[in-house]
Amino acid sequence: MNRITFTILGLVTLGLLSWGMYEALVAAPTEQTMGNIQRIFYYHFPSAMTAFILFFINFLASIVYLVKRNAPGGAKGADAIAVSTAEVGLVYCTVVLVTGPLWARPVWGIWWTWDARLTLTLVLWLMYVSYLILRRYSSGEQTATIAAALAVFAFLDVPINYMAIRWWRTQHPSPVIAGGEGSGLDPAMWKAVWVNWLAFSVFALLVCWIRYKLERAHQCLEEREATRALDHKQPARMTHQEVR
């Protein structure tokens, strides 16, 4: 992605975010039961789905790294993708955990309840926090491998989380996608959902690309430092004159 493409994508992202805000706060009709507090949904749901997509990419990249880490050339690119998507996905997951209680307090009368969906989301957040802490504070040779294995395990929470409100009785609202009869949104509200989801996805792509380039630069710097340190450890060779 060159500078021109990046600039265009940035402007498109800004336009989509502005359009999404208009759809969520102005254009979408007011929900009859919950009132304007329901508009949090237009940020809560797209954030959750974007986080799930990023964690899925992290899952795939981690598998690629585990498979190819010992191959010639390694799998540094896959590792960089895994790190960048985990970081951005965690930000979106944090938005989910913040907007959820803000929505729940006036609607349910409580900030938090330990039902399946909410608990699984918190566990998901904690696992990816653990992943990033491991990547940040461990410098061993096996750090990337252990982190990749942790990422594969952590992603198992995502499909369980998505199906939680279908498998168990929870206080969380019914599914809005493929939720069966009596669930979902009014058709007039869907535009705000799709626009914000598109805006959040494009923004995630933009940030992930920036973070990926930074991670690749960091990897190159580490390789140069490792090579330089190895060169310094090589025993000095005597010249021909010294041998004579």
Per-residue pLDDT of the chain (244 residues; tens, 9 = 90+): 678 888 888 999 999 999 999 999 999 998 888 888 989 999 999 999 999 999 999 999 999 999 988 877 678 899 999 999 999 999 999 999 999 999 888 888 888 888 888 999 999 999 999 999 999 888 777 888 999 999 999 999 999 998 888 887 776 766 666 544 445 677 778 999 999 999 999 999 999 999 999 998 988 887 787 677 666 665 545 444 444 4
pTM: predicted TM-score of the whole model, two decimal places:
0.86
Chain centroid to CA 149: 17
Token output for 36: 């304007």
CA 127 – CA 143 distance, rounded (Å): 16
Domain ranges of the chain: 39-171+187-228
Token output for 150: 């942790």
Contacts of 146 (CB under 8 A, 6+ apart): 134, 138
Nearest of 95, 108, 114 to residue 41 by alpha carbon: 95
Chain centroid to CA 36: 28
